[in-house]
């Protein structure tokens, strides 16, 4: 029986992790939730006809409990909050899956109530039948349908996914990095939308912008000012996809890591999402260390 339990759980683990991450917005905390789900699954003595549904129910309920405490912590969070960056490869030919959500949509989910978020993710994104969602949330089907409708209305107001060819994503990300590093206001003016916004998440742990920066002129002035700071001069470590958006990993002269994701609209950068909080970047430290070593050795 333990072998069967482990086999069934491992078959569902990737899906459960994606669900937990989209519910919570933190990869590390999502992994903790999935681990707790495994412990509960391993202790289950009764036979289960549909392990996928059973495990989805466990993870969803664990996430709902987690969100209650997370929202209390979020009230005292320093500065803008962004989801923990989930890295991927830039592959425009890869088949999109139903749960292939961008960072933009992750932020839209944050504005939903926990039950609305769960109803939307389970029913609209992960394809769980409405009756099973009702059982998971301990609500009747009509109430769950209303939760999903309200959530759908908010989420669909977010920008739809705009997938960029790999070469174009690479060009835009590298050009933006160079212009931001050098404070090149002319180049930035040609790349950024007039109503561009910039989010910077430092969590009070490292230097970051406490408020969202809005508008082309303010963002240009910000990078122009940064370029004159002796501690700035970041180094590009790797081009990556971050929650479905073109982006990159960089580090500054002090060694602080940063991920930057770029949301594109009509060929312009409409939003810039910078994560600098080291607690949210632990999962990329080893990757960044490899890149820094390669740069020091002159191999990249």
| Residue ranges per structural domain of the chain | 2-77+102-155, 166-296
Average pLDDT score over residue span 123-148:
93
Residue 250's alpha-carbon distances to 113, 122, 236, 254, in angstroms, are 34, 35, 4, 12
d(CA 122, CA 242) in angstroms, rounded, equals: 23
**Tens of pLDDT, residues 111-121:** 889 999 999 99
Decide if pLDDT at 290 tops 80: no
Q: What is the structure's pLDDT at 206?
A: 87
Residues in the chain: 300
d(CA 29, CA 16) in angstroms, rounded, equals: 12
Number of CB atoms found within 10 A of residue 74's CB: 12
The answer to whether 144 and 134 have CB atoms below 8 angstroms apart is yes
- Residue 283 CA, chain-centre distance (Å), reads 13
Give which of 100, 127, 81 is closest to 279, Cα–Cα.
81
Q: What is the DSSP string of 7-28?
A: HHHHHHHHHHHHHHHHHHS-HH
Q: What is the structure's pLDDT at 47?
A: 80
Query: Can you name the residues that pair with 240 across neighbouring β-strands?
Result: 247
Fold assignment, 2-77+102-155 = Butyryl-CoA Dehydrogenase, subunit A; domain 3 (1.20.140)
**Tens of pLDDT, residues 161-219:** 566 778 888 999 999 999 999 999 999 999 999 999 999 999 888 888 889 999 999 99
d(CA 26, CA 24) in angstroms, rounded, equals: 6
Q: What is the structure's pLDDT at 299?
A: 53
Give which of 25, 20, 64 is closest to 203, Cα–Cα.
25
Fold assignment, 166-296 = Nuclear Transport Factor 2; Chain: A, (3.10.450)
d(CA 257, CA 236) in angstroms, rounded, equals: 10
């Amino acid at each position: 029986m333990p072998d069967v339990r482990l086999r069934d759980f491992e078959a569902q683990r990737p899906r459960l992790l994606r669900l937990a991450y989209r519910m919570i917005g933190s990869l590390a905390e999502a992994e903790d939730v999935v681990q707790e789900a495994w412990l509960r699954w391993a202790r289950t003595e009764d036979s289960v006809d549909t392990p996928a549904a059973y495990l989805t129910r466990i993870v969803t309920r664990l996430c709902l409990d987690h969100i209650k405490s997370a929202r209390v912590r979020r009230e005292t969070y320093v500065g803008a909050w962004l989801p923990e960056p989930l890295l991927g490869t830039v592959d425009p030919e890869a088949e999109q899956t139903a749960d292939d959500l961008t960072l933009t949509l992750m932020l839209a989910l944050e504005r939903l109530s926990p039950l609305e978020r769960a109803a939307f993710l389970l029913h609209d994104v992960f394809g769980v039948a409405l009756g099973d969602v009702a059982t998971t949330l301990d609500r009747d089907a009509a109430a769950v349908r209303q939760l999903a409708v309200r959530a759908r209305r908010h989420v669909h107001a977010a920008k739809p996914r705009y997938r960029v060819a790999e070469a174009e994503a690479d060009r835009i990300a590298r050009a933006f990095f160079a212009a931001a590093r050098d404070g090149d206001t002319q180049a930035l003016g040609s790349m950024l939308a007039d109503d561009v916004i910039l989010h910077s998440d430092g969590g009070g742990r490292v230097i970051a912008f406490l408020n969202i920066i809005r508008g082309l002129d303010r963002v240009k002035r910000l990078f122009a000012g940064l370029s004159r700071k002796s501690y700035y001069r970041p180094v590009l470590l790797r081009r990556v996809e971050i929650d479905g958006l073109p982006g990159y990993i960089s580090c500054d002269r002090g060694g602080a890591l940063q991920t930057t994701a770029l949301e594109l609209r009509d060929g312009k950068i409409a939003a810039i999402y910078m994560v600098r909080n080291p607690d949210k970047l632990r999962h990329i430290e080893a990757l960044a260390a490899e890149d820094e070593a390669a740069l020091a050795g002159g191999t990249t």
